[in-house]
């Protein structure tokens, strides 16, 4: 069945209602572009080829699909969906088969539904199949018009419909099956005599019926699977549906999500049992979160791995980093660019780690920047410690070995090594390596001037000389 299937996905349109300077179809929808979602569902049918029609902002669509083995056909200019398919039939090399035509802007479409539509097309021995659904508010969509015996007669576009036709709630979702032979024969007969002066693919239905061809309507009861995204309001709705789908799967698998309305977890994120996500958490994939973790409010975790029993306190950002089991992060922490926090380590508030490793049981509890740094085990990094890693040209490395104690307010001017067991006194500016077990003090000596206040007052009260 599937090896005679050819898919044509229409992604060349201008998307006027979306009001974007980019292609609407390249817009991210819950971690994947709109067009990628349609292509992935289509790939599940194993068609012999997938042709993607491109035109308006073609590069956006092509780069969104760079990982997919599809073939691009350019439609230039874009004169409507009918014209789009005319261009497709002129370019594709196949001479027979069934063509699956899809609008590129139906990102919720799933493989199961596609399979059912294909089955219905074949079992009904239809010449063409149109997919419909019913909407409470069908405005903006093409309506399926039927005769008294319930047979489809034509599709009328919203803009061309009479008030009575506009009251029809059954809409065309933009997904069709038709044999290549028939398509080639009829597609060039479309006209553009309509409100938009476009060639409508939907007008093909009337032509097929006039030629006594069998047009099957496959009605799907769940409009959510076939919602077309034409504006940003529909985009938000589709993202909401996808977000909830992912969250419900996670909840069924044993993850607690305190407020699904404000939580977002992308599909390629795994989360272990008994982990708790507080309101406002966003996790982007690919990421993996262990078991029994607690991710408190308004944290964002992107492309990262967290082990079991990790606590991430409020308002922390973790990007491309690795946090091992039982470590604790935040509040207000920032881990980025391959930061690595080993087990039981603690990254406290207002601490940033960039390309830095904090070893087992080590702590950087307050107001610290560790960049291009390795910290060994059981080290304590005092409040306000800063690694001065950038000399204006190069990034230099700081190494703090096991069991070191770095006092508060220390600046470590890289490249520099603080060897095992060494102490650095608070307020030091360290420019040379510190030997093992040594104490480094690098700060101005304090001088206390006795009775200075009184002396100054006396000085001030002396009459100034004329």
Catalytic residue numbers read 366
As a whole number of angstroms, the distance between CA 5 and CA 97 comes to 6
As a whole number of angstroms, the distance between CA 139 and CA 342 comes to 55
Q: Which of residues 149-188 bind ligand UD1 (CB under 6 A)?
A: 155, 157, 171-174
Tell me which of 33, 42, 103, 220 binds ligand UD1, using CB under 6 A: 103
Number of CB atoms found within 10 A of residue 254's CB: 12
To the nearest whole angstrom, how small is the minimum distance from the Cβ of residue 196 to Mg ion?
13
Output 105 or 198, the one with its CB closest to Mg ion: 105
To the nearest whole angstrom, how small is the minimum distance from the Cβ of residue 124 to ligand UD1?
21
Q: Which of residues 37-76 bind ligand UD1 (CB under 6 A)?
A: 53, 75
Alpha helices in 149-277, H assignment, sequence order: 163-166, 180-186, 204-210, 232-252
As a whole number of angstroms, the distance between CA 316 and CA 268 comes to 21
Residues that bind Mg ion (rule: CB under 5 A) add up to a total of 3
Whether a cis peptide bond, with omega within 30° of 0, leads into 331 is: yes
157 binds, among Mg ion, ligand UD1, none (CB under 5 to 8 A by kind): ligand UD1
Output 187 or 335, the one with its CB closest to ligand UD1: 187
Q: Residue 20, interface with Mg ion (CB under 5 A)?
A: no
Q: Is 46 left (phi over 0), alpha (psi -120 to 50) or beta?
A: left
Q: Residue 230, interface with Mg ion (CB under 5 A)?
A: yes
Q: Which two tokens stand for residue 293?
A: 């973790």
Q: Residue 105, interface with Mg ion (CB under 5 A)?
A: yes
Segment interacting with ligand UD1 (CB under 6 A) among 11-19, 110-118, 261-269, 455-463: 11-19
Interacting residues of 254 by C-beta distance below 8 A, sequence separation 6+: 273, 274
Q: Which helix (H) or strand (E) holds 177?
A: strand 170-179
Burial class (CB in 10 A: 0-12, 13-18, 19+), 210: exposed
Number of CB atoms found within 10 A of residue 271's CB: 24
Output 23 or 263, the one with its CB closest to ligand UD1: 23
To the nearest whole angstrom, how small is the minimum distance from the Cβ of residue 295 to ligand UD1?
37
Contact (Cβ atoms closer than 8 angstroms) between residue 437 and residue 421? yes
Segment interacting with ligand UD1 (CB under 6 A) among 9-17, 252-260, 309-317, 379-387: 9-17
Q: Which of residues 185-204 bind ligand UD1 (CB under 6 A)?
A: 200-202
42 binds, among Mg ion, ligand UD1, none (CB under 5 to 8 A by kind): none
Q: Residue 142, interface with Mg ion (CB under 5 A)?
A: no
Q: Residue 368, interface with ligand UD1 (CB under 6 A)?
A: no
Segment interacting with Mg ion (CB under 5 A) among 228-236, 251-259, 338-346, 440-448: 228-236
Q: Residue 12, interface with ligand UD1 (CB under 6 A)?
A: yes
310 binds, among ligand UD1, Mg ion, none (CB under 5 to 8 A by kind): none
104 binds, among Mg ion, ligand UD1, none (CB under 5 to 8 A by kind): ligand UD1
Q: Which residue is nearest to Mg ion (CB)?
A: 228
Q: Residue 13, interface with ligand UD1 (CB under 6 A)?
A: yes
Output 200 or 278, the one with its CB closest to Mg ion: 200
Q: In degrees to the nearest 10, what's the CA dihedral of 286, 290, 294, 297? A: 0
Interacting residues of 173 by C-beta distance below 8 A, sequence separation 6+: 103, 106, 131, 132, 133, 220, 226, 228
Output 84 or 217, the one with its CB closest to ligand UD1: 84
Tell me which of 20, 89, 91, 230 binds ligand UD1, using CB under 6 A: 230
Q: Which of 82, 35, 40, 98 is nearest to 61 (CA)?
A: 35
Q: Residue 407, interface with ligand UD1 (CB under 6 A)?
A: no
Whether a cis peptide bond, with omega within 30° of 0, leads into 415 is: yes
To the nearest whole angstrom, how small is the minimum distance from the Cβ of residue 176 to ligand UD1?
9
3-state secondary structure 348-379: EEEEEEEEEEECCCCEEEEEEEEEEEEECCCC
To the nearest whole angstrom, how small is the minimum distance from the Cβ of residue 199 to Mg ion?
15
Interacting residues of 370 by C-beta distance below 8 A, sequence separation 6+: 351, 352, 353, 354, 356, 358, 364, 381, 385, 387, 398
84 binds, among Mg ion, ligand UD1, none (CB under 5 to 8 A by kind): ligand UD1
Say if strands 152-156 and 143-146 run parallel, antiparallel, or are unpaired.
antiparallel
Segment interacting with ligand UD1 (CB under 6 A) among 5-13, 254-262, 407-415, 440-448: 5-13
Q: Residue 55, interface with Mg ion (CB under 5 A)?
A: no
Q: What is the CA radius of gyration of the chain?
A: 32
Site residues for ligand UD1 per CB under 6 A: 10-13, 53, 75, 78-81, 83-84, 103-105, 141-142, 155, 157, 171-174, 200-202, 228, 230
Site residues for Mg ion per CB under 5 A: 105, 228, 230
């Amino acid at each position: 069945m599937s090896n005679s299937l050819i898919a044509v996905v229409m992604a060349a349109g201008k998307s006027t209602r979306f009001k974007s300077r980019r292609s609407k179809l390249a817009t991210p929808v819950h971690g994947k572009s709109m067009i990628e979602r349609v292509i992935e569902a289509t790939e599940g049918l194993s068609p012999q080829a997938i042709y993607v029609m491109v035109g308006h902002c073609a590069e956006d669509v092509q780069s969104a699909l760079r990982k997919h083995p599809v073939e691009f056909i350019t439609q230039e200019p874009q004169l409507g969906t009918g014209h789009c398919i005319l261009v497709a039939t002129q370019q594709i090399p196949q001479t027979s088969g069934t063509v699956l035509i899809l609008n590129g802007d139906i990102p919720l479409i799933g493989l199961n539904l596609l399979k059912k539509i294909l089955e219905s097309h074949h079992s009904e021995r239809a010449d063409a199949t149109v997919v419909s659904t019913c909407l409470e508010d069908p405005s903006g969509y093409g309506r399926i018009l039927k005769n008294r015996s319930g047979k489809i007669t034509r599709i009328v576009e919203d803009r061309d419909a009479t008030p009575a036709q506009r009251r029809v709630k059954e809409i065309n979702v933009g997904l069709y099956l038709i044999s290549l032979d028939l398509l080639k024969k009829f597609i060039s007969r479309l006209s553009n005599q309509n409100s938009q002066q476009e060639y409508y693919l939907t007008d093909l239905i009337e032509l097929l019926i006039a030629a006594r061809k069998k047009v099957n309507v496959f009605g799907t009861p769940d409009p959510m699977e076939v919602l077309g995204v034409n504006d940003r309001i529909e985009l938000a709705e589709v993202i909401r549906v996808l977000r909830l789908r992912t969250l419900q799967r996670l909840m069924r698998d044993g993850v607690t999500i305190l407020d699904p309305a404000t939580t977002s977890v992308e599909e390629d994120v795994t989360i272990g049992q008994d982990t708790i996500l507080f309101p406002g958490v966003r996790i982007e994939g690919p990421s993996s979160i262990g078991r029994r973790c607690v991710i408190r409010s308004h944290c964002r975790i992107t492309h990262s791995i967290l082990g079991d029993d990790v606590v991430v306190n409020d308002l922390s950002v973790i990007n491309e980093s690795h946090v091992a089991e039982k470590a604790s992060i935040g509040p207000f922490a920032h881990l980025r660019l391959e930061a690595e926090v080993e087990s039981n380590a603690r990254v406290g508030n207002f601490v940033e780690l960039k390309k830095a490793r904090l070893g087992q049981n080590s702590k950087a509890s307050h107001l610290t920047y560790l960049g291009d740094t390795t910290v060994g085990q059981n080290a304590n990094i005092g409040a306000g410690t800063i690694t001065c890693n950038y000399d204006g040209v190069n990034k230099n490395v700081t190494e703090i070995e096991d069991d070191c104690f770095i006092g508060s307010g220390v600046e470590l001017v890289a490249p520099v090594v603080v060897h095992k067991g060494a102490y650095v006194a608070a307020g030091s500016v360290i420019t040379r390596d510190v030997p093992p077990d040594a104490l480094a003090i690098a700060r101005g000596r304090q001088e206390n001037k006795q009775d200075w206040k009184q002396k100054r007052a006396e000085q001030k009260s002396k009459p100034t000389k004329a």
